[in-house]
Amino acid sequence: MSTVDKLSLMDEHKPKWKPRRSGRRILLAGLLAPALIVGVTVACTFLLMVFVSFQRRFPGDAEFTLYQYALFFQDSYLLETALRTIALGLVTTTICGILGYPVAWFLVMSSSRHTYIVFIVILAPLLVSIVVRTIGWTVILGNEGLINAALLKLGVIQSPLSLMQSFWSVVAGMVHVLLPFMVLSISSVLGKLDRSAIEAAMTLGATRSVVFRLITLPLSIGGVLTGAVIVFCLTVGAYLTPLWLGRGSVQVLALTIRQQVMDFGDWPGGAAQAVLLAAGAMTLIVIVSVATQRMGRR
Amino acid sequence: MSATQKVHKKSDLILRSYVAGVLIFLLLPIVIVIPLAFSQDASMVFPPSGMSLKWFERAIARPEFVTAFWLSAQLAVLSTAISLTLGGLAAYALVRFRFMGRSLYMGLFLSPLIVPTVVLAIALTMIFAQLGLLRNFWGLVIAHVIITLPYTVRVLSASLSEIGRDVEEAAMILGATPMRMLIHVLLPLLRPGIISAGVFALIISFDEFTITLFVSGPGLYTLPIEIFNYAEFYSDPTIAAISALLILFSAIGIIIIERFVGLRNVFK
């Protein structure tokens, strides 16, 4: 390249190729379109489900009816199942919070050399198949499993306890699967927390519990609530864990929805249950996000 | 040492033991299947009475598992490739452009994470039944692209936003066409992010259970579903052996992500 060329190049400080305004729009549309098709497909999928839930039969005469919802609220078995689903969600969320908060605290605040290992151990289970993790719980809780073997050997019990097939075995499995989500959302908020406030309070003689109650918890409650919403929504929508660890004795909506659609071929009935489940979860998300914003404004 | 320091030391010890307890709770159910995979007993008895490799042989020799493994692998590779392409384009738009409804689009791409899994599963089943995509390989591909897209968009946006816009502009000022800039500047810089997003999508697709169970059918079972079916009828350590192999796969994936961008950055 000659010196003249170089000089002329330096003169042109603008890019040679510069999209015009209309070109920019086309580029943006082109970039977004493919993924948008996927997003819109998902949205349409939900609209179809809502539509089906207002039918008496599907495919049928496309007449709007509340028949399926009336049926749901008259069915004591389904109502009991819905209550159990909510209870499972609440219990799992609470335990995840209790187990997760101190771990998140340790991850962010501790000066320990081991925080990185702790981080990997918290995240790694997310990348191990849920089928594998559920089999692991079978090995621990089963009649010939770890806990029974240990208790038999110690002479605490004479015959194996049946630890599977219970509400609490499902809770154990759910907490195991979802705890990482809780830890992550709490630690991301704790990480942004202004530590000088804590130090100031400590200097002024506040005890650790006072600092926690009056400073740390109020400032990090947003992370706890976000984590709680994620854990709750994923728990009430979980299928494999209640099926496998409950072994048919812990009925939740995820299981009845599949039975309704696959075993009885009742699409509108299953759709109505799914819409109610999704509506419940969405309502919770809205309530929590409004509450979080209110708290932020205070 | 003052009294308060002693108190702090004590509470620190309590915190550490608590965290250690939680970590054991997280690791135990995963690690425990490994000794059982090498068991010589005919059922999943703990502790095993002796060692053998026969359950690995049994697992690898079972044709259902082999077919399911190949289906899972094809599905994972194909949906990851599609998801990376779509996710990359969307991430570029979301990071580099400011436009109306940007956060709405972001929410749309991330929505499959929040919607209860069973609801997404049943909704997809209904629309696939109408479109003839139920029990169809391409139906499974579409479902897996939908599941993995939130992760690829997220990981790629994160790594794209760390690469300054000035690099792109510099390349353009020096006269590169957009295509040359993409191939010689942006893609090489994005490589760690692309690899992590890809490994992530591969693992998520390979492990997915619920949605796949709803939209697949006999003759089109992925490995997790075939393992589940086996476990419903047999309780021998074959499933422990397969689980051990899957744990090995996950461990390799985690090491790759850790090596290129770090797990910590993916979840930030």
pLDDT tens-digit map of A38-68: 778 888 888 888 988 998 887 777 788 888 8
Same domain? A244 vs A101: yes
Fill in the amino acid letter for B101: G
pLDDT at B20 (0 to 100)? 92
Chain segment B12-48, per-residue pLDDT in tens: 888 889 999 999 999 999 988 888 889 888 887 777 8
- C-beta neighbour count of A292 within 10 angstroms: 17
**Are B119 and B211 part of one and the same domain?**
yes
Take residue A267 and report the two structure tokens written for it.
Answer: 């699409």
Q: How many domains does chain B have?
A: 2
**Phi, psi of A218, deg, nearest 5:** -60, -35
Distance of CA A59 to CAs A47, A63, B159, B251, Å?
A: 15, 11, 46, 47
Q: Are residues B85 and B194 in the same domain?
A: yes
Q: Does residue B121 form part of some domain?
A: yes
Of B32 and B110, more confident: B32
pLDDT of A297 strictly over 80: no
Q: Is residue A23 part of a domain?
A: yes
The residue among B4 and A27 whose pLDDT is bigger is A27
| A92, A235 Cβ separation under 8 angstroms | yes
User: Are B243 and A278 a contacting pair at CB < 8 A?
Assistant: no
Q: Is the pLDDT of residue A21 over 80?
A: no
Q: For residue B162, tell me if it sits in a domain.
A: yes
Enumerate the β-bridge partners of residue B39. B51
Report for A150-164, B2-16, B37-51, B62-76: range of highest mean pLDDT: B62-76
* pLDDT for res A10: 44
Chain A CB contacts of B86 under 8 Å are 34-35, 38
Q: For testing the chain B interface, which of A126, A151, A209 should be mutated: the one with the most B CBs within 10 Å? A: A126
Residue B182 lies in a domain: yes
- pLDDT tens digits, one per residue of B192-212: 889 888 988 998 899 899 999
Mean pLDDT value across residues B169-192: 84
Residue B30 has its nearest CB partner, among A132, A236, A257, at A132
How many CB contacts within 8 angstroms connect chain A with chain B? Answer: 259
- Mean pLDDT calculated for residue range A3-12: 44
pLDDT band for position A19 (cuts 50, 70, 90): low
Whether A141 and A73 share a structural domain? yes
Q: Given its phi and psi angles, is residue A205 left (phi above 0), alpha (psi -120 to 50 degrees) or beta?
A: left
Chain centroid to Cα B234, Å, comes to 27
Same domain, A31 and A131: no
Q: Which of A8-22, A29-43, A221-235, B165-179 has the lowest mean pLDDT?
A: A8-22
Residue B21 and residue B149 in one domain: no
The interface residues of chain A toward chain B in range 82-141, judged by CB-CB distance below 8 A, are 99-100, 102-103, 105-106, 110, 112, 116, 118-125, 127-133, 135-140
Could you tell me if A46 and A164 lie in one domain? no
The model's pTM is: 0.84
Predicted confidence at residue A152, as pLDDT, reads: 87
- A127 and A167 part of one domain: yes
Q: Is residue A2 part of a domain?
A: no
**Listed residue (B46, B123, B106, B230) closest to A45, CA to CA:** B123
Residues A194 and A225 occupy one common structural domain: yes
Q: Do B9 and B80 belong together in one domain?
A: no
Q: Which residues pair with B51 in a beta bridge?
A: B39
Residues A21, A128: one domain?
no
Judge if A259 and A158 occupy the same domain: yes
Contact A51, A57 (CB under 8 A): no
Q: How far apart are CA B231 and CA A142, in angstroms?
A: 13
Mean pLDDT rounded to a whole number for chain B:
85
Q: Is B145 on the interface with A (CB under 8 A)?
A: yes
* Contacts of residue B256, Cβ cutoff 8 Å, sequence gap at least 6: B195, B196, B199
DSSP letters along B97-136, please?
---TTHHHHHHHHHGGGTS-HHHHHHHHHHHHHHHT-TT-
Predicted pLDDT of residue B8: 67
Q: Is residue A75 part of a domain?
A: yes
pLDDT score of A226: 85
Q: Which helix (H) or strand (E) covers residue A87, if one does?
A: helix A76-109
Is residue B166 situated within a structural domain? Answer: yes
Same domain (yes/no): B97, B218: yes
Contact, A253 vs A277, CB < 8 A?
A: yes
ipTM for the predicted complex comes to: 0.82
What pLDDT is attached to residue A7? Answer: 42
pLDDT band per the 50, 70, 90 thresholds, residue A163: confident
Buried b / exposed e along A243-262 (16+ C-beta atoms within 10 A): bbbbeeebbbbbbbbbebbe
Determine, for residues A233 and B45 on separate chains, whether the beta-carbon distance falls below 8 Å. Answer: no
- Residue A121: the pLDDT is 87
* Residue B211 in domain: yes
CA angle B198, B83, B193 (to 5 degrees): 35
B12 shares its domain with B128: no
- Percent of chain B scoring above 70 in pLDDT: 94
Please, are residues B48 and A139 in contact by the beta-carbon 8 Å criterion?
Answer: no
When pLDDT is cut at 50, 70 and 90, the band that residue A251 belongs to is very high
Q: Are B138 and B223 contained in the same domain? A: yes
Same domain for A196 and A141? yes
- What are the tokens at A21? 């305004």
B87 contacts in chain A (CB < 8 Å): 35
Mean pLDDT of chain A: 83
Q: Is residue A5 domain-resident?
A: no
With CB atoms and an 8 Å threshold, state whether A237 touches B116. yes
Domain contains B251: no
Identify whether B161 is part of a domain.
Answer: yes
Mean pLDDT of A17-42: 74
What per-residue confidence (pLDDT) applies to A40? 82
Distance CA B193, CA B180 (A): 20
DSSP A262: I
Residue of A nearest to B204 (CA): A127
CB-CB under 8 Å, A102 with B19 = yes
At residue B171 the predicted structure's pLDDT band, cuts being 50, 70 and 90, is confident
- B70 has a pLDDT exceeding 70: yes
Residue B76 has pLDDT above 90, yes or no: yes
- Residues A121, B26: C-beta atoms closer than 8 Å: yes
Please check whether residue B253 lies inside any domain of the structure: no
Q: Are B37 and B243 in contact (CB under 8 A)?
A: yes
- DSSP-derived letter for residue B21 is H
Q: What is the CATH number of the domain that holds A219?
A: 1.10.3720.10
Q: Give Cβ neighbours of residue B177 (< 8 Å, ≥ 6 apart).
A: A17
* SS3 sequence of B139-200: HHHHHHHHHHHHHHHHHHHHHHHHCCHHHHHHHHHCCCCHHHHHHHHHHHHHHHHHHHHHHH
What's the structural domain count of chain A? 2
Mutate to test the interface with A, among B79, B89, B122 (most CBs of A within 10 A): B122
The answer to whether A238 and A133 are in contact (CB under 8 A) is no
Residue A105, in any domain of the structure: yes
Examine residue A136 and state whether it is found in any structural domain, yes or no.
yes
A204: containing domain: 67-297
Taking only the tens place, the pLDDT of each residue in B111-155 is: 777 778 888 899 898 889 888 888 999 999 999 999 898 888 888
Q: What is the pLDDT of residues B235-255, one digit of tens each?
A: 888 988 998 998 898 888 888
User: CA-to-CA distance for B72 and B76, rounded, in angstroms?
Assistant: 6
Residues B144 and B183 in one domain: yes
Query: What pLDDT score was predicted for residue A171?
Result: 95
Same domain, B121 and B8: no
The verdict on B8 and B105 lying in the same domain is no
CATH number at residue B134: 1.10.3720.10
Q: How far apart are CA B245 and CA A250, in angstroms?
A: 30
Residue A1 is assigned to a structural domain of this protein: no
> Which residues of chain B from 51 to 80 reach within 8 Å of chain A, CB to CB?
none
Contact A36 B105 (CB under 8 A): yes
Most confident of the following: A91-100, A158-167, A220-229 = A91-100
- Whether A189 and A41 map to the same domain: the answer is no
Do B104 and B22 share a structural domain? no
Domain that holds residue B161: 62-233
In this structure, are B27 and B79 located in the same domain? no
Report residue B169's pLDDT band, with 50, 70 and 90 as the boundaries: confident
